[in-house]
Structure 1
Amino acid sequence: MSKAQEHRQLWLAALRADGPATRVAFEEAAASEAGLSVPAPSCPGWTVLDLVTHQAKTYLWVRSHVARGVTSRPDHDPREELAELPTGTAAIQWWSDEYDALVGLLETLDPQLPAWNWAPAPKLAGFWLRRMAHSTAVRRWDAQMALGQAEPIESRLAADGVAEVLETWLPAGRRSGPTDRSGVVRLVATDADDEWLVRLRGEGVALLDTDTWLDHDEHPTRVSARGTASDLVLALFGRVRFDVLEVSGEAALLTSLRAG
């Protein structure tokens, strides 16, 4: 099996697993005393209802442009046409309908189909299959965290999520952390046999080849962070603090890798 096929299977399997788990969390929240007004602590200021509606709108938007077969930026956003959004169990049903429609589309879509995306990455539909797998996994974690029962992101998917942040989010300038620091960061996934080296030069970010990169003194400021792949990707997306990891060196550098 080719690497591309392995990735496609990983992302589809993740969508099929995390989607139903997300719905269970949404339904448990709806059945609680506070209903979907339960706060989502990993997304300050949001409630579970915000998680539901935001993700449903995301699925709707991706469905609207991913299968066009062109790389131009979409000039239509169906989210802008939404009137009053549903609440309660109706909101969950809306999310479920959008999830089912998206997965059904992605299951039949050729990942090599030309498609726009916002990153310095190949303009192919596979970008969105990957992005939706990770988006769904993190939202599942958010919903479960609101109930105090968050389960880790599956290690292979989480390791790919770390790579996605370093390959697309940061080079695209989608950073929520400081952009005035320089140094080298090593991230090590203890449960996935993966590691990454990242060079920071202010607003510049470079993912280094760990097989060929030679150590030198160009960047005296360095930090190493080790932990499960799930903790690494959740830290990069600001869901957990970097101090859940085993950190050595200049810890302040890590916040410059935050995606947002």
Structure 2
Amino acid sequence: MSDSRPNAEFWLDSLRREGAAFRAALTPETLDSPVPSCPEWNVGQLVAHLGAVYRRHGAHVGRGVTSDPGGAIDPSAAPAGPAVIEWWDESFRLILAALESTDPASPAWNWSIVQDKTAKFWFRRMAHETAVHRWDAQLGAGAALTESIETRLAVDGVDEVLDTWLPSKHDWDPEGQRGVVTLRTTDADAHWAVRLRGVGISLLDTGTVFDDSPHAQSAVSGTASDLLLVLWGRVPLSVLTIEGNPELPRVLIR
């Protein structure tokens, strides 16, 4: 696990920054451009998706209850053509207003099976949703070099994949693999260990990892941004340094 302990203020600041960078990548001329990291979408569809995410979660985060709000993310509600950019602008204002007016400790529904049912979940989730899709938008807009994700935010993003998505994803199939994968950042003091159990996956306290394990082991290292983007399937595993079994880390890619 990482030693970073971001809070709601950090996530809200990150959301503002990443949202502004996402918006800066948009022009009417690039809306039809494909998004290589999300091959099912063009830039306009990416904009519609993120705006729909904001509207869906902005509508329920401040209710003060943990019951499922129902409904679904609905990108089809977005207008076609360049008008989708203004629609996204309004969506972004809505999520910011919802979070800024909500106590992070107040009750709020979320889909996780392990995290507390408080609004804090959505401060974190919206920051990371925006950061990864900002990277997608820059890539789709034809940026010569997409900007990496800020180190502290990326470290927390790896945390989120492993401490929230991993235990909540019931269909996460370890493909029969058994062993331990350790991950370490080269630009921050952060590390994680994941045990593949053949039929499931566990995030470990690194003190429980034994060098004499009879099963395969793999050590993965890279910048926090690269680790996060690999886990989200945005960049190939080859951008990381891998020691040991090269197949084990593939199981962790979302």
Q: Give the alignment's TM-score, normalised by structure 1.
A: 0.89
Q: What residue number does 2:178 align with?
A: 182
Q: What residue number does 2:253 align with?
A: 258
Secondary structure, aligned partner of 1:222 = strand
Structure 1 residue 219: deviation in Å? 4.6
Structure 1 residue 214: deviation in Å? 4.4
Letter of the aligned partner of 2:252 in structure 1? L
Structure 1 residue 203: deviation in Å? 3.8
Given candidates 222, 230, 236, the residue that maps to 2:225 is 230
Q: What residue number does 2:166 align with?
A: 170
CA distance in 2, matches of 1:4, 1:224: 21
Question: Which runs of 5 or more structure 2 residues have no equivalent in the other structure?
Answer: none
Letter of the aligned partner of 2:208 in structure 1? W
Q: What residue number does 1:19 align with?
A: 19
Provide, for residues 11-66 of structure 1, a one-character-per-residue CA deviation record: whole Å limited to 9, x for no partner.
11111111111011012xx23xxx31101000012100111000011001101211
Map 1:193-232 to 2 at 5 A.
193-210=189-206, 212-232=207-227
> Quick check: 224-233 or 66-75, which moved more?
66-75
Secondary structure, aligned partner of 1:124 = coil
Structure 1 residue 70: deviation in Å? 1.4
Please provide the CA RMSD for this pair. 2.1
Secondary structure, aligned partner of 1:183 = strand
Given candidates 112, 127, 131, the residue that maps to 1:133 is 127
Letter of the aligned partner of 1:17 in structure 2? R
Q: What residue number does 2:81 align with?
A: 88
CA distance in 2, matches of 1:180, 1:196: 21
Tell me whether 1:192 sits opposite 2:185 in the alignment. no
> Quick check: 11-20 or 179-188, which moved more?
179-188
Letter of the aligned partner of 1:40 in structure 2? V
Q: What residue number does 2:97 align with?
A: 104
Query: 1:183 touches 1:201 (CA, 8 Å); kept in 2?
Result: yes
CA distance in 2, matches of 1:93, 1:162: 31
Identity of paired residues, percent? 46
Q: What residue number does 1:153 align with?
A: 149
Q: What residue number does 1:36 align with?
A: 31
CA distance in 1, matches of 2:26, 2:19: 11
CA distance in 2, matches of 1:24, 1:174: 36
Secondary structure, aligned partner of 1:171 = helix
Query: 1:175 touches 1:257 (CA, 8 Å); kept in 2?
Result: no
Structure 1 residue 77: deviation in Å? 4.0
Query: 1:69 touches 1:115 (CA, 8 Å); kept in 2?
Result: yes
Query: 1:64 touches 1:78 (CA, 8 Å); kept in 2?
Result: no
C-alpha change, 1:95 and 1:124, in structure 2 (3 Å) is: same
C-alpha change, 1:255 and 1:95, in structure 2 (3 Å) is: same
Letter of the aligned partner of 2:135 in structure 1? W
CA distance in 1, matches of 2:242, 2:73: 43
CA distance in 1, matches of 2:122, 2:41: 25
Provide, for residues 82-119 of structure 1, a one-character-per-residue CA deviation record: whole Å limited to 9, x for no partner.
65x31232101111110111012112211111111111
Secondary structure, aligned partner of 2:68 = coil
- Give the length in aligned residue pairs: 249
Letter of the aligned partner of 1:199 in structure 2? R
Query: 1:177 touches 1:257 (CA, 8 Å); kept in 2?
Result: no
Letter of the aligned partner of 1:256 in structure 2? V
Secondary structure, aligned partner of 1:88 = coil
Letter of the aligned partner of 1:257 in structure 2? L
Letter of the aligned partner of 1:71 in structure 2? T
Structure 1 residue 179: deviation in Å? 3.9
Secondary structure, aligned partner of 2:180 = strand
Structure 1 residue 177: deviation in Å? 6.2
Letter of the aligned partner of 2:218 in structure 1? V
Q: What residue number does 2:242 align with?
A: 247
Query: 1:169 touches 1:175 (CA, 8 Å); kept in 2?
Result: no
Structure 1 residue 150: deviation in Å? 0.9
Letter of the aligned partner of 1:70 in structure 2? V
